[in-house]
């Protein structure tokens, strides 16, 4: 599982991404160590429920990196990948909150972002958290990483979606005034998606608005699934019904979510659970296939800047 893959950005000193050169090193390493599964063999494994050895590459969030830095590299190597796109952005033409959070932290660092957030957020907004615990954390966090995690926990999990967008807008305004919303060029265009699909890439659904599904009522889960598949069916010539859960991990979706995906004809869905896909997963849990975060593999540590090669296998 990959997210941002790019060269060093100019204006985002705290941004976490995988440097494109590390991405290439990781592809070399994967190729030498495991090899890659062809699209045909993967399709076959889904049908026969027999795993095949090798790696399958997935890319989440539909960011422009996937067209500009990943796609050319995959083409050059004769590889394919599955690209999961949150479809709501093509209607709203605004950045998803999850990406505004990345940019907030990327530009200002976790400490500054957390201070600004604590000045804006109010107890009653944090419906999914013991508010008192959060409010008592008025000390400065020890380091950027800790503060970054807290900002993400508050904005992705604790806060009610009713308040998130406006809180984020207020925090961003407090920190950097009213810049543009940054939508242009942040995501894949529809033309780029089609070009990638024509070249053998799979484009799948990453929901409409990238919510934590376990925070949603079943009706809202259905809308997120149904509308995102309908959108891809409308804009792509030959869509493949596949899905990956926003954020990932078993706490982010429910059995209902998996049933709804099946009902909508989804063929396979990816969770984030760091282990190999076994025959039993293909047979019994095709809506929750495990996958590794690239961070866990050699050369894959998404960081602020280039990662030095590590000597031992990091699994």
- C-alpha pair distances (Å), 49 with each of 44, 62, 216, 314: 8, 28, 31, 28
- Contact between 60 and Zn ion by CB under 5 A: the answer reads yes
Among 108-116, 218-226, 243-251, 282-290, which window interacts with Zn ion (CB under 5 A)? 243-251
CA distance 121 to 124: 9
- Contact between 61 and Zn ion by CB under 5 A: the answer reads yes
Choice between 22 and 61, CB closer to Zn ion:
61
Among 43-51, 140-148, 241-249, 275-283, which window interacts with Zn ion (CB under 5 A)? 241-249
* H/E segment holding residue 221: helix 218-235
Among 42-50, 52-60, 192-200, 286-294, which window interacts with Zn ion (CB under 5 A)? 52-60
> Closest Cα partner for 122 from 156, 96, 160, 173?
160
Report whether 114 contacts 232 (CB < 8 A): no
Query: Nearest distance from residue 96's CB to Zn ion, in Å?
Result: 8
Here the tokens at position 313 are: 């296998």
Query: Nearest distance from residue 224's CB to Zn ion, in Å?
Result: 13
What is the C-alpha end-to-end distance of the chain, expressed in Å?
A: 15
Provide Rg for the chain, Cα atoms.
19
Among 110-118, 141-149, 244-252, 279-287, which window interacts with Zn ion (CB under 5 A)? 244-252
Size of the site for Zn ion (CB under 5 A): 3
Query: Nearest distance from residue 144's CB to Zn ion, in Å?
Result: 22
Choice between 116 and 261, CB closer to Zn ion:
261
Q: What are phi and psi for residue 61, nearest 5 degrees? A: 90, -5
Choice between 110 and 246, CB closer to Zn ion:
246
Half-sphere exposure of 127 (CA within 13 A, CB side): 9
Choice between 131 and 254, CB closer to Zn ion:
254
90 by DSSP, 3-state: which?
helix
Query: Nearest distance from residue 122's CB to Zn ion, in Å?
Result: 27
Among 54-62, 66-74, 262-270, 285-293, which window interacts with Zn ion (CB under 5 A)? 54-62
Site residues for Zn ion, 9-38, by CB under 5 A, read: none
CA distance 55 to 62: 21
Choice between 204 and 246, CB closer to Zn ion:
246
Contact residues for Zn ion (CB under 5 A)? 60-61, 246
């Amino acid at each position: 599982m990959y997210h941002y893959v790019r060269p060093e950005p100019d204006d985002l000193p705290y941004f976490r991404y995988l440097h494109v050169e590390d991405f290439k090193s990781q592809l070399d390493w994967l190729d030498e160590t495991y090899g890659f599964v062809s699209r045909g063999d993967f399709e076959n494994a889904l049908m026969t429920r027999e795993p095949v050895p090798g790696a399958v590459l997935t890319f989440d969030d539909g960011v422009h990196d996937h067209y500009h830095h990943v796609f050319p590299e995959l083409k050059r190597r004769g590889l394919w990948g599955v690209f999961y796109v949150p479809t709501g952005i093509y209607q709203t033409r605004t950045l998803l909150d999850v990406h505004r959070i990345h940019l907030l932290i990327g530009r200002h660092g976790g400490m500054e972002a957390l201070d600004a957030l604590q000045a804006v957020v109010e107890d009653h907004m944090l419906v999914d958290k013991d508010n008192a615990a959060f409010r008592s954390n008025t000390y400065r966090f020890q380091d950027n990483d800790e503060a970054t995690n807290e900002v993400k926990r508050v904005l992705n999990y604790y806060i009610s979606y009713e308040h998130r967008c406006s809180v984020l807008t207020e925090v961003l305004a407090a920190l950097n005034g009213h810049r543009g919303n940054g939508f242009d060029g942040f995501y894949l265009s529809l033309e780029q998606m089609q070009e990638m699909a024509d070249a053998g890439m799979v484009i799948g659904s990453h929901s409409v608005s990238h919510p934590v599904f376990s925070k949603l009522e079943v009706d809202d889960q259905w809308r997120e699934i149904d509308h995102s598949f309908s959108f891809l069916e409308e804009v792509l010539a030959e869509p493949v019904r596949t899905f990956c859960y926003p954020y990932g991990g078993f706490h982010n979706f429910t059995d209902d979510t998996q049933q709804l995906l099946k009902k909508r004809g989804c063929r396979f869905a990816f969770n984030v659970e760091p282990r190999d896909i076994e025959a039993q997963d293909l047979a019994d849990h095709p809506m929750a296939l495990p996958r590794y975060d690239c961070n866990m593999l050699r050369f894959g540590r998404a960081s602020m800047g280039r990662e030095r090669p590590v000597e031992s296998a990091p699994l």
